Amino acid sequence: MEALTLTEDQYRDAISLWEATGLTLPWNDPTADLLRAINGESSTVLGCTMHGDLVATAMVGHDGHRGWVYYLAVAPQKQGHGLGRLMMEACEQWLIERGAVKVHLMIRTTNEAVIGFYDGLGYELSDVQVRAKWLNGDGEAS
């Protein structure tokens, strides 16, 4: 199994997977997020398939120094079988190949199971704050 860049015929499946795993919120447009990543010069969306079905995704990008990972999702019936680890390894490799020296990700503080997952991969709590400001005026704080 390997993580590859999503193909256009997988876009709807990716969004369905994000919805099924609770990654989408009313103020985030997953279609716009996916298209920005796929069409960006320094980002992409990786996916993993089993028997023709998309079972895992991760959005990855970088700013020239540090990388970011979003939308890491594994189909509920496939969780606990190493696909999340596979996707994170693929994201890290993608970033290394592009010269990024560090990777960041954001986890909702209420998502304790995911915090444990990332702890197991060696991700540490950083001594930084993530702050946000909506530029379009119609978002909500997340």
Average pLDDT over residues 14-37: 93
* Alpha carbon distances (Å) from 81 to 22, 75, 84, 111, 140: 19, 11, 8, 19, 34
Domains of the chain: 4-120 (3.40.630.30)
**Higher-confidence position of 132 and 103:** 103
Q: What is the DSSP letter of 15?
A: H
**Higher-confidence position of 22 and 45:** 45
pLDDT for 64 equals 87
Q: pLDDT tens digits for 109-140?
A: 888 889 999 999 999 999 888 888 888 766 65
Average pLDDT over residues 51-71: 95
pLDDT for 109 equals 85
Q: How far apart are CA 46 and CA 4, in angstroms?
A: 5
Bridge partners, 116 (sequence order): none
Q: Which residues, 6+ apart, have CB-to-CB distance to 42 below 8 Å?
A: 61, 62, 63, 64, 98
Question: Would you say 82 and 100 are in contact if contact means Cβ atoms under 8 Å apart?
Answer: no
pLDDT for 112 equals 85
Q: What angle do CA 42, 46, 52 make, to 5 degrees?
A: 155
pLDDT for 138 equals 62
